[in-house]
Amino acid sequence: MLKNIPLSKITLPPYDLRFYRSKEAFSLFCSDIEKSGMLVKPIVRETNGKYEVLDGWNRLRCAKKLGWKTVLCDVLTGETDEVSRIIIGLKVNMFRFSHDVIGVAQAFQRLRKLGLKQIQISRIFGFSKGHVSKLLSLNKLPPDKKLEVAKGQLNIEQAYQLVRKKRNPELMEKLNIKYKCGVCGSKVDLSQCEIINLCFDCRSDLEKLIRDRREKMEREKGQRWL
């Protein structure tokens, strides 16, 4: 049901389905809405005279910036639980060209905490169970790497490899990622890492890399004396 709703009666959800929002893209988006109008109507849920946004958070922000008093919205009536609200918001958002992978990963994690199993999530959204598992693993990335994924500077496979191997020396070197010392916490070059908090496999990989580098340096040093 379409209905003109005062912006003052529309409330934002307690969480954002997107991890990263570009200020430049937002400005262009607002300019487009100012020229062409709001072609896609926000979706809201009505409860006791208040309206909670299910889809269209950015469009409503633009409307507020442009000084609009009311917005034509698609109103859903009836009770919906948190799981249903997340699913509705994701289904509308995630298949758009600009969907936020980290935002989707965080929403999947929220669904898991609310009791959904990975196989249920995969069926609802048409992904393989393995892909859902891969997306969920991205929640283990540090904030700076999540931002790189959201901006498209790091692809999903690279990000997944960082999580899967915890600290893969060759990949970290390729991506110019420094290790964090397990003693003082400072970020140091690979060649300086003697004691760091790593799993057994990664520690073995790192020790081999450092050993190979030292042997190479010794060979080069010996050749200079010839």
What is the per-residue pLDDT for 223?
65
Strands (E), 77-220: 179-180, 187-188
Task: Give the largest CA-CA distance in the chain.
Answer: 87
119-149 pLDDT, tens digit each: 999 999 888 888 898 889 888 888 888 888 8
Going by pLDDT thresholds of 50, 70 and 90, the confidence category of residue 97 is: very low
Question: What class is the 1-99 domain?
Answer: alpha beta
Q: Report the pLDDT averaged over residues 155-181.
A: 64
Contact 106, 139 (CB under 8 A): yes
Q: Report the pLDDT averaged over residues 104-114.
A: 90
Residues 6+ apart with CB under 8 A from 37: none
Distance (Å, whole) CA 157 – CA 22: 23
Distance (Å, whole) CA 109 – CA 57: 21
- Tell me the HSE value of 167 on the side-chain side, using a 13 A CA sphere: 22
CATH 3.90.1530.10 domain span(s) along the chain: 1-99
Q: What is the pTM of this model?
A: 0.58
- Going 51 to 57 to 58 to 61, the CA torsion angle's sign is positive
Contact 207, 194 (CB under 8 A): no
Distance (Å, whole) CA 30 – CA 125: 30
182-226 pLDDT, tens digit each: 545 556 555 444 444 455 556 666 667 777 777 877 777 776 555
Going by pLDDT thresholds of 50, 70 and 90, the confidence category of residue 98 is: low
Take residue 44 and report the two structure tokens written for it.
Answer: 């809201």
What is the per-residue pLDDT for 206?
67
